[in-house]
Amino acid sequence: MPISNPLTRYTPVAQLLHWVIAALIVTQFALAWTADDLPLGLHKLVLLARHKSIGMTVLMLAVIRVVWRFTNRPPDLPPDMTRIERLLARATHIAFYVLLFAMPLTGWMMSSAKNYSVSWFGLFTWPNLIGQNEASFAFLKSTHDYLSDVLLAIAILHILAALKHHFWNRDDVLIRMLPFRKSPRGP
């Protein structure tokens, strides 16, 4: 007997990618906010080096996730959702996918523009995407900052929506992304 029904739950791989990426993004915000308050020095350099390594990890996982998303159909949304709700859910999910690429790529380009090549945990160095340029750096930094605000806003919306589905609508929208609940709620 299968533990999960593929039509009502996300696949274990999709769940794993969702939660690992979510944890890494929380770490990214913590590192970025801590580093922002520090003066230029070794401590800031170390935090930003970790931020970059994790960011490149998110980028690699994003590639896997998109491939997985297009080759594994996600469970359908509950039938009682309105058109507006479906539209909003879909727009939020598309925005997440766009940001999963846009955040690391603008960060990587920022580093290239400032002539700080990106190392992956000291194991290897990624090539520079663009040449050193102060104006490009300033533009990319403000873009990266702005996108991080958008990401934070839709993440809050996403979490509130998941909680609303779970506690208000009492459907299985949240449960189907949880690995440990054995059976989804009935309709």
Partner 1 sequence: MRRAVWIAMLCIGGAPLAAGAAGPAAYGADPAASHLDFTGVQAGAAFKGTFHKFTAAIDFAPDALATAKFDVQIDLNSLDTMDKDRDKTMRGPDIFDVARFPTAHYVAKTFTKTATGYSATGALTLRGVTKDVPIEFRFVPGSAGAQLDGTAQLKRLDFGVGQGDWKSTEWIADVVKVSFSLSLKPRA
Rounded to a whole number of angstroms, the minimum distance from the CB of residue 119 to partner 1 is 3
What SS3 class is residue 125?
strand
Contact assessment for residue 184 and residue 5, using Cβ atoms and an 8 Å cutoff: yes
Least distance to partner 1, CB of residue 116, Å: 7
Return the number of the residue (106 or 112) whose C-beta is nearest partner 1.
112
Which CB, 45 or 159, lies closer to partner 1?
45
Name the residues that contact partner 1, by CB under 8 A: 40-43, 45-46, 48-49, 114-123, 125, 132, 134
Measured from the CB atom, is 1 or 123 closer to partner 1? Answer: 123
The least distance separating partner 1 from the CB of residue 140, rounded to whole angstroms, comes to 14
Report how far residue 13's alpha carbon sits from residue 130's, in angstroms, rounded to the nearest whole number: 34
Kindly report the number of other CB atoms within 10 A of residue 74's CB atom.
16
Nearest to 97 by CA among 65, 60, 57, 144: 65
101 vs 116 by CB, closer to partner 1: 116
Q: Name the 3-class secondary structure at 155.
A: helix
E-state strands within 113-161: 119-120, 124-125
Min separation Cβ 66 and partner 1, Å: 27
